[in-house]
């Protein structure tokens, strides 16, 4: 069962509740990325302690390792990984299209070589849904063609034709084998930075009909204003009564702007990847906690954070752990960063329910030192 209840709007920003297979997900929500069946440096029971209701799993990675069959025989990804929250799985499309020379798009699907051992594989829209159903995913993203940036309008239109054809086939597969099962399905809007293509994409996907809709193909190297222009022209065309997911985005400021444009769901590797590299997010902007200037800073990573890391540890200590190349440094900064992202969408949701989201966003963006994100 998947339901979406839109509870409150504040200008274009939306507060809702996504319920899937008994998992209750307040929106807007940020989904941590659990590539290989665990968020990096944060195993599932630790992630649960941060209050995360949903995690993203990568179909491409899980299919290759440990392999779909092992996860299926374990009883699905929830049981295999010991994660009791909801799981959304991407289609693998993004990973495959990042392989560059190792892949070939055909009408039927996409041929690619494993980055692990060079072995050849073939993903079809139907096969990818079947993999995700075998993983026991709660929300399965359709296989799509992620158009790189830059691309001409003709290239983007070609890719979109394939994407929309695959979307229809994905939904047919879902209707055939998944409609009564736990694995629901979201469509993905492509079309690069071309408004006409994005509009066409939404229209067709709405006709096909999905449980939710995602904006894909952004945050792939295009200038930020192109990204926000695309979101602001696309989001209003998306169904009001279905969750709207902006894939692979982004910085805290991007997320606040995305929420202001009506987005409900986000995912990004930034809090985890940057955490492992020594970048801690704060309400004043990210800080490079490895830097020598924090060696005797006995305050928390962020004085306005109530996470288990900020309650117990100082910048000086975490800086020392990074300096000593201790795994604990990556663990603690990952925890803090994910808590920060979850806290951010939680505070945004509160602001929406009180119909003062614009004020919240303005205050956040004024305070948050965007410029430091150059380091990201």
Question: Rounded to the nearest whole angstrom, what is the least distance from the CB of residue 337 to its own copies in the complex?
Answer: 15
Residues 6+ apart with CB under 8 A from 46: 335
Question: Rounded to the nearest whole angstrom, what is the least distance from the CB of residue 94 to its own copies in the complex?
Answer: 18
Of 183-242, binders to its own copies (CB under 8 A) are none
Question: Rounded to the nearest whole angstrom, what is the least distance from the CB of residue 152 to its own copies in the complex?
Answer: 38
Using a 10 angstrom Cβ sphere, with 0-12 exposed, 13-18 middle and 19 or more buried, the burial of residue 161 is: middle
Number of residues that bind its own copies (CB under 8 A): 39
Q: Which stretch binds its own copies (CB under 8 A): 22-30, 67-75, 171-179, 250-258?
A: 67-75
CA distance 255 to 266: 7
Task: Determine if the peptide bond prior to 150 is cis (ω within 30°).
Answer: yes
Residue 81 binds its own copies, judged by CB under 8 A: yes
The answer to whether residues 190 and 163 touch, using CB atoms and an 8 Å cutoff, is yes
Q: Which of 6, 12, 36, 177 binds its own copies (CB under 8 A)?
A: 36
Q: Which of 70, 179, 240, 354 binds its own copies (CB under 8 A)?
A: 70
Q: Which of 27, 31, 40, 174 binds its own copies (CB under 8 A)?
A: 40
Of 331-350, binders to its own copies (CB under 8 A) are 331-332
Q: Which of 9, 26, 43, 372 binds its own copies (CB under 8 A)?
A: 43
**Bridge partners of 113?**
120
Task: Annotate 115-136 with b (16+ C-beta within 10 A) or e (fewer).
Answer: eeeeeebebbbbbbbbbbbbbb
Active site includes 267?
A: yes
Residues 6+ apart with CB under 8 A from 219: 227, 247, 248, 249, 250, 254, 268
254, 267, 302, 343: the active-site residue: 267
Residue 80 binds its own copies, judged by CB under 8 A: yes
Question: Rounded to the nearest whole angstrom, what is the least distance from the CB of residue 57 to its own copies in the complex?
Answer: 13
CA distance 305 to 287: 14
C-alpha pair distances (Å), 18 with each of 6, 235, 265: 9, 18, 10
Closer Cβ to its own copies, 35 or 233, answer by number: 35
Residue 111 phi/psi, 5-degree rounding, is -100, 135
Question: Rounded to the nearest whole angstrom, what is the least distance from the CB of residue 38 to its own copies in the complex?
Answer: 4
The answer to whether residues 376 and 270 touch, using CB atoms and an 8 Å cutoff, is yes
Name the residues that contact its own copies, by CB under 8 A.
Answer: 36-45, 61, 65-66, 70, 73-75, 80-82, 295-296, 298, 308, 312-314, 316-317, 320-321, 323-324, 326-328, 330-332
């Amino acid at each position: 069962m998947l339901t979406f209840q839109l509870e409150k709007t504040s200008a274009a920003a939306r507060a809702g509740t996504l319920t899937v297979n008994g998992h209750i997900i307040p929106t807007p929500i940020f989904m941590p990325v659990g590539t290989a069946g665990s968020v990096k440096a944060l195993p599932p029971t630790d992630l649960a302690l941060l209050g995360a209701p949903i995690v993203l799993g990568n179909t491409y990675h899980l299919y290759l390792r440990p392999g779909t069959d092992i996860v299926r025989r374990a009883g699905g990804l929830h049981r295999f990984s010991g994660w009791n929250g909801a799981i959304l799985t991407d289609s693998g499309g993004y990973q495959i299209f990042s392989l560059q020379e190792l892949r070939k798009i055909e009408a039927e699907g996409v041929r690619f070589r494993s980055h692990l051992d060079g072995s050849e594989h073939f993903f079809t829209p139907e096969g990818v849904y079947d993999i995700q159903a075998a993983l026991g995913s709660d929300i399965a993203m359709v296989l799509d063609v992620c158009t790189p940036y830059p691309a001409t309008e003709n290239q983007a239109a070609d890719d979109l034709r394939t994407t929309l054809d695959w979307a229809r086939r994905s939904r047919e597969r879902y209707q055939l084998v998944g409609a009564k099962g736990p694995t629901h399905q979201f469509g993905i809007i492509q079309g690069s930075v071309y408004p006409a293509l994005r509009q066409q994409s939404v229209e067709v996907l709405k006709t096909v009909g999905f449980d939710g809709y995602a904006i894909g193909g952004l945050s792939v190297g295009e200038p930020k204003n192109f990204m926000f222009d695309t979101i602001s022209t696309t989001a209003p065309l998306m169904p009001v009564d279905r969750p709207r997911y902006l894939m692979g985005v982004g910085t805290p400021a991007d997320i606040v702007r995305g929420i202001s444009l009506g987005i409900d769901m986000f995912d990004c590797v930034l809090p985890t990847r940057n955490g492992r590299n020594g970048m801690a997010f704060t309400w004043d902007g990210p800080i490079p906690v490895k830097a020598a200037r924090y060696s005797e800073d006995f305050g928390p990573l962020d004085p306005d954070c109530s996470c288990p890391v900020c309650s117990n540890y100082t910048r000086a200590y975490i800086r020392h752990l990074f300096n000593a190349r201790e795994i604990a440094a990556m663990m603690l900064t990952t925890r803090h960063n994910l808590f920060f992202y979850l806290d951010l969408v939680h505070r945004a949701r509160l602001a929406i329910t009180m119909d003062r989201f614009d004020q919240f966003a303005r205050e956040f963006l004024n305070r948050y030192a965007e410029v430091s994100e150059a380091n990201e």
